[in-house]
Structure 1
Amino acid sequence: MTSAETVLHDALTVAACSDAGIVRAHNEDAVFVDADFGIGVLADGMGGYNAGEVASSMATTLLATSFSRLLRSAVETPAVLEHPRQIMSDEVRGTNAAIFRASQSSASCAGMGTTLVFAWVLGRELHLAHVGDSRAYLWRGGNLRRLTKDHSLLQEQIDEGLISPDAARHAEHRNLVTRALGVESDVLVDTATHALEPDDIVLLCSDGLNDMLEDGEIGELLGQDRYSLNARALHLIERANALGGRDNISVVLLRLDAQSAAQPAAKRWWHGFLNQVK
């Protein structure tokens, strides 16, 4: 199991943890967090021998690299930050194209793909991009709310009234996704923006977590404010493993601390970062 926690200028705290689970021999999930840029990325790979691991690793590495480069360019041209959701969609689509090319050029990687959920905290706003069935949640004041809608066969059946959400938790085909990075040369990326409040916690997770834990239990574990954010991430994974750990389990947490949220909107933390790298 790997984990890390970083605090950004008393403004944003991030934590990440990934574990193979009890059943799987390999961990095909990948996570990336960067407190300086306020981003969290989580990918759940799929494919043949080791191919899923390659796809998820490519997704997180390529996004981390390209996004870092793009944000550093904002030192000279701050206007690039004016359309964050478009930025995220473009970056994800570029990453998709790279994974697709790799899958076409190597027999060992043929058919590989990965889900993706990508969060960017910019000032008091959360910007999200996602593809597949990895999820984003918002924990606020003791309540947990899901922010993403799965791109899966099961979700389509729920939407059509063919199966209830309760029955869906035990369906055999619950992990069949209808959209993933690397499967085709282009991909449709869902994006959204949500306002953040002091002490909000954003959770990104692979289905190895939400398949094992009900949303209510996830919310209870996130609400353990006597523990650090990193400890809460570890507790989520430990609980999923205690319930069977049938799949790889990954968690990314981002918390907007009260000091940051209390600042005027013009005092977004990335202004300070841009000044640092000039």
Structure 2
Amino acid sequence: MSQTRIANVWRSSRMIEMYGMMDVGIKRSHNEDAIALLPSHGLAVLADGMGGHNAGEVASNLAVETIARFIRKHLDRLRDPASSESATSQLLADAVREANLKVFDMARSRPECSGMGTTVVASLFSGDRLISAHVGDSRMYRLRGEYLTLVTEDHSLVHEQMKRGLLTPIDAHHSRARNIVTRAVGIAPDIEPDIHTHEVNRGDLYLICSDGLTDVVPDEAIRLTMLEYGHQLDHTAKELINLAKDAGGPDNIAIVLIRTHAPFERKRGLIARLIR
């Protein structure tokens, strides 16, 4: 199955560079991951859907479309230069909650979508800060210099067991329960996303990805790949996807890469596009 490119390298006022790519993998017949990139707004969203009869695909696409639309509609909240970091965090959290309601309502109203849900990782730049919101076990990493840091915490059963000392990381990796999430968008009428603020340095490289990558590719291999190819985001994405497929490609693989060049500033009149 050939790779599906979601976006070319985009620049926004020399501030950030974004690239996204998805691949169905080796063993899946259809894609349940989704990506939205709005570089002019400083927004990137990734979702990994779940549910039978292609409902996972419905959930993930609905989630990323809803979040992107919500941010574009309500971005005036942040037009004031005095807008606080908390206002940006609140806007992103509200967008994820709106997506949760949309997915939940569709799951209730359409029998073929019953029980569907999705993970979400959304990132929104503001000045020299990056605000992230996440639900589920999709991840965000930051490469700064030679150091790769996982900046999200999996909402998964095995992660909860590791925190309680019931599993070692090796046990968790081989556990049959490793793909059971403890929090997902669309499963219940209310959701509380994890919201974090990250200080951004010039040259930071962020990776947002679905578990189709991280379930089969170790963090060290991800780090080395980002170090070697990070100057070309499209090449980096291809190499990461190839690593996952070489390891069996049991799941869909979604990649978003974001390179920072300068503090992000929003300007009126910029045209945003939703990439599906």
TM-score of the two chains, using structure 1 as the length reference? 0.91
Q: How far does the alpha carbon of each residue in 1:250-269 deviate from its partner, in whole angstroms, 9 at most, with x for none?
A: 01111102xx15xxxxxx42
| Alignment-derived partner of residue 247 in structure 2 | 243
Retained in 1: the 8 A contact 2:20–2:35? yes
Structure 1 unaligned segments of length 5 or more: list them: 262-267
Q: Given the superposition, is the C-alpha separation of residues 162 and 238 from structure 1 closer, same or farther in structure 2, using an over 3 Å criterion?
A: same
Work out whether 1:89 is the aligned partner of 2:93: yes
| Alignment-derived partner of residue 189 in structure 2 | 185
Retained in 2: the 8 A contact 1:48–1:109? yes
Counterpart-to-counterpart distance in 1, 2:239 and 2:84: 35
| Alignment-derived partner of residue 13 in structure 1 | 17
| Alignment-derived partner of residue 265 in structure 1 | none
2:4 alignment partner, one of 2, 5, 16: 2
| Alignment-derived partner of residue 265 in structure 2 | 269
Work out whether 1:224 is the aligned partner of 2:228: yes
Counterpart-to-counterpart distance in 1, 2:270 and 2:259: 23
Aligned positions of 1:144-223 closer than 5 A: 144-223=148-227
Cα RMSD of the aligned pairs, angstroms, is 1.7
Q: Given the superposition, is the C-alpha separation of residues 108 and 255 from structure 1 closer, same or farther in structure 2, using an over 3 Å criterion?
A: same
Counterpart-to-counterpart distance in 2, 1:206 and 1:161: 25
Counterpart-to-counterpart distance in 2, 1:130 and 1:276: 26
Counterpart-to-counterpart distance in 2, 1:214 and 1:68: 36
1:215: how far off?
0.5
1:79: how far off?
6.0
Aligned positions of 1:54-65 closer than 5 A: 54-65=58-69
Aligned positions of 1:55-134 closer than 5 A: 55-72=59-76, 74-75=78-79, 82=85, 83-134=87-138
Q: How far does the alpha carbon of each residue in 1:192-239 deviate from its partner, in whole angstroms, 9 at most, with x for none?
A: 001011110111110000011110110111112475112101111111
Return 220-229 or 119-128, whichever deviates more: 220-229
Identity of aligned residues (%): 40
Counterpart-to-counterpart distance in 2, 1:86 and 1:74: 11
Retained in 1: the 8 A contact 2:40–2:270? no
Counterpart-to-counterpart distance in 2, 1:187 and 1:170: 29
Counterpart-to-counterpart distance in 2, 1:166 and 1:7: 40
Structure 2 unaligned segments of length 5 or more: list them: 272-276
Retained in 2: the 8 A contact 1:139–1:145? yes
Counterpart-to-counterpart distance in 1, 2:29 and 2:112: 18
Retained in 2: the 8 A contact 1:136–1:204? yes
Retained in 1: the 8 A contact 2:229–2:235? no
1:156: how far off?
0.7
Secondary structure of 1:15's counterpart equals strand
